[in-house]
Structure formats: C-alpha cells, structure tokens
Structure 1
C-alpha cells in the first residue's frame, strides 16, 4: 500500500508477540521512508522498474509527491501495540495504526480518525473509525467526539448491537442537525468495534469503506451508499438523482452519496442510517483496513 495516496486510513491487525514487534518496526520504517519521499522534489509516485496500477492516472495528471500540499493537518501516522488483557485471556494480541494526509484539494483537511482501546463491562474493545467530512470539518469532528459514546451507551447494545448502532447513529445525527448551524456540512462514517479480538462490528454511512484480509484475500465489509444504486430510496423520500453538473450521480444534483451525517438541507431526501455487519475474527483474519474514498477511488 502507498499510504500517502489516501486522505485517511487506519488498520488493525492480530498476530503473535514476535510478529507484533517485527510489524511495528517495519511499519515505522515505511512511514519514515514515505515522509522522506514526500520532500524529494524529483520523486514520483511510481517508476518504470516498479509498475503500479496507479501509474496511468498519475502520468495523466503529472502528479508528483511534492504536489500534495501540507495545510491544516500535516502527514500523521501512528502504530500502537496491545497485548491481550491479563483479566481477559480470550482477548487476542493486536496492533492498530493510522495515517492521514491532505491531497490536492484547496480546502483544509476535513477528515477525523478515532482509534482507541477500551475496557467496558469486562469486554476488551478496539474502537476505530474514519469520518470524512465535506463542506467543512465540523460534522466529522462531532462524530469523532460523540459517536462511539452514543453507541456504547445505547440501551440494549450487548443484546442487539446492530439495532443499537442504528439507534445511536440516528440520535447522533439529530444532535448534529440541532447543534451545527451550517446545513450544508456533513460527513461519512465507517466505524468498527473489535470485541475481545474475536468479534467485529462494522457500521458505515456514505462511501468510506472497510475490508478484512483473510488468507491473503480482501473481503469487503461495507457497501458504498451510491445515488445510482439507491435511487429508489432517494425518490421514495421526495428527492431525485442527477448527473448534472458533471458526470457524477448526485442527490438533488448536490451530494454524491445517499447516506451521510449532517447535510441538513438534504436530510429529507437522504438518511444517516448505517449498514451494519457482524463477523467472527479467527486465525485466518490477518488485518482490517478502514479508509476514506481518497484511497479506494484512486483509479
């Protein structure tokens, strides 16, 4: 992966103690190399000796590493290693890391990342999320500060986590619409809760994505909430989907997704209801990646 191609991403990985130390060193080395390459005025993202699927797009744009401007939030990266909890032997070893950088947009960085380990009610939780803001960072920041608190405090979370997550997302969206004045501001969200290292809950709203890697194969954990795919949903709420202006399907000709937090002026025609998936994490699961569309849609 070329981490400096994405707006933001984070990952979680499970492995043995010896592998953890090795992975940590390798990742930190790669991060330093990426930072070094960032400052080389002559360096390009690909070379003839190492072909890349990104090369055609990069060559067409004439992009170089130094074309990524540093603004409000510079390149950041972090790796954190967690041993299993002594009071919870079923919890597995895992690490998490994150990386974000602003691309070529003229506005400041609007993405926020959440990555935290927490013990709650005897459960060992890994909490991870990407919030990709648009028309401002306020909604993404609010989600970073409040979404997980609302999810974990929702009654019935342990009995029916999928339903509880949907209720918490609705409550959080209501708070955003009440507290953030600008009705054009919004954010996507992809959030993951790792329970004791063996159970994974993933919720997504918008076009940020999550995947897991099992025996070297990528497995999608989310589906983009695309206006063409969910045209019937938009129309059932009184809206329409148009490719004007441009050639990107948009709700009411404005928003390129059918689900988002905030976006008050379009809220009658879109929703913040997430899709929720629950799956078991076993020995075949190598790592999990959450990322905004800055990574997935680079083609």
Structure 2
C-alpha cells in the first residue's frame, strides 16, 4: 500500500516505496508536503514508486507528485518514476495547454514502455499524477484505480476516475477482450488484470486503454489538502470522502501543521 499527501509547502525527490515516510516544502516555504509508504500484506515485494518534489523551471515553480502502483514486477513503475514527468515537461504546449501535453506524454510514455517490454518485462502499472503550477493551478491525471482527493472548505472531492473492468466493459469487449466475474474475486480483464487502463501489460494491451482522465482545479486560500493514494488505502479501508478523516489519518503519519494553508 502506498499513499502520498501534499500540503501548503523544498524539494523532496521520488523514491522506491518502502516502509518509510518523509516531508518537504516549496522554495518559498508556503506549501508543505509529506508522504508515507507502507508495504501491505501481499507476499510479493513492494512494487510501488512515488515522486514528491518542488522544482524551478523557466521562471515557474512546479510541484510534482505521483504514485505508480505496479503489478507483476516493479520495472514499469520504476520507468514511470524516471520518465513520465520529464516527458510531460518536454511537450512544447505544456505552458499553454497542460491538458493536451499531459495526454500526449502519457501516450508516448506507454508506447516507450511497450517498445522496451523485452527489458521491462510483462508487468504494468497504474498512475496518478498531480502537477501544481506556481501554487495556483492544479492538474491531476490518472490511469487505473489510484486516486486523488482534493478538499476545499472541508468538502472533499475525488479528482480521478476509477478505471475498473466492469465500468469499462464495453471498451474492453469492443477491443476483443472479456471481463471475468468469478465468485470471491474482483472483475478482471481476460481473467487477469483488475483495472481497465494501465501502462505496460503488453500481453493485454490490445484490450486495455492507457489514456488518462485529466482534471484541473484552482488552488487558493480555501484549499485544505490534496491526498494521493493507491487502491490499498481507498479500497481496503472504508474512509469515504470525509475530509476530517483524511486530515486525521495523515496528521498521524506526517505531523501536519493545520494552521497553514494546505494543498
């Protein structure tokens, strides 16, 4: 299980998920972030990676936050950690049309992963990314079932879409695949994958999508907190979308100062 919490706050680099936590703040110290990474009960090694940092580029300050939840190995999430944000920022239209830049970069990154399947293996990864531009404009994108929840004035809103086999059955079947619903198990694409969109997964790619859902939100004095987390938090624990619950949970992990404006 892997979760990330981003607050009103220097640079903290990404890393492989392990039983650890960290925090940092923006260059001006106005916004703070923290993260906590915990391995769940699964017998296989941790396959999640994250990014959490602020950086200066072309006179702008960017906050870059992400969780990459891998499956069938950690090669694909490791690749995403290194390349996805770099590919987004390489797009010439990023500063004028972030939505288009993010969409194009997600596609190009997936194509690069598929072309390297011999080295990266047969696995894949979900992704949820958040880019904060100059502390004012937030762009969230996701593929798979990791989520981002934004709270403003105590009201929490899910900014991502859960890409699950049952909800996208039509797309899967139109591509020649099927959705299994075995007793005691979750719906799966071709009886294998529990998400309908993912990076990688070359053997299933003809039946999967990798295009992200993208949302934009304004960040101002009414913004409370942004929480990014993999499905291990959202599905195993029934927290719902009560902002006070998320604030309490992450305060216990990262010692939030709730007196500051939080992103």
Structure 1 length-normalised TM = 0.74
Q: Which residue in 1 is equivalent to 2:23?
A: 79
* Residues 32-111 of structure 1 mapped to structure 2, 5 A cutoff: 74-84=18-28, 93-111=30-48
Classify the secondary structure of the residue corresponding to 1:203. strand
CA distance in 2, matches of 1:189, 1:292: 9
CA contact (8 A) 1:150 1:168 kept: yes
- Change in Cα spacing, 1:190 to 1:162, as seen in structure 2 (3 Å) is same
Q: Which residue in 2 is equivalent to 1:148?
A: 85
CA distance in 2, matches of 1:287, 1:224: 20
Return the offset for 1:282: 1.3
CA distance in 1, matches of 2:150, 2:85: 21
Quick check: 1:123 aligned with 2:99? no
Classify the secondary structure of the residue corresponding to 1:157. helix
Q: 4+ residue runs of structure 1 moved beyond 2 angstroms?
A: 81-84, 180-184, 244-247
The two structures, once aligned, show a CA RMSD in angstroms of 1.6
Return the offset for 1:14: 1.7
- Change in Cα spacing, 1:289 to 1:146, as seen in structure 2 (3 Å) is same
CA distance in 2, matches of 1:252, 1:278: 33
Structure 2 length-normalised TM = 0.83
Q: Which residue in 2 is equivalent to 1:265?
A: 203
- Ranges in structure 1 where 5+ consecutive residues have no aligned partner: 1-6, 16-71, 85-91
Q: Which residue in 2 is equivalent to 1:236?
A: 174
CA distance in 1, matches of 2:25, 2:108: 33
Quick check: 1:285 aligned with 2:218? no
CA contact (8 A) 1:183 1:265 kept: no
Quick check: 1:133 aligned with 2:70? yes
Count, aligned residues: 230
Classify the secondary structure of the residue corresponding to 2:55. strand
CA contact (8 A) 1:177 1:183 kept: no
Q: Which residue in 2 is equivalent to 1:26?
A: none
- Change in Cα spacing, 1:183 to 1:79, as seen in structure 2 (3 Å) is closer
Describe the superposition over 1:19-76 as per-residue Cα deviations: whole angstroms up to 9, x where unpaired: xxxxxxxxxxxxxxxxxxxxxxxxxxxxxxxxxxxxxxxxxxxxxxxxxxxxx96411
Q: Which residue in 2 is equivalent to 1:67?
A: none
CA distance in 1, matches of 2:122, 2:178: 17
Describe the superposition over 1:106-152 as per-residue Cα deviations: whole angstroms up to 9, x where unpaired: 11000001011111121110000000000100000000000000000
Describe the superposition over 1:205-246 as per-residue Cα deviations: whole angstroms up to 9, x where unpaired: 000000011112211110100111111111121111111374
Structure exhibiting the larger radius of gyration computed from Cα positions = 1
- Change in Cα spacing, 1:73 to 1:114, as seen in structure 2 (3 Å) is closer
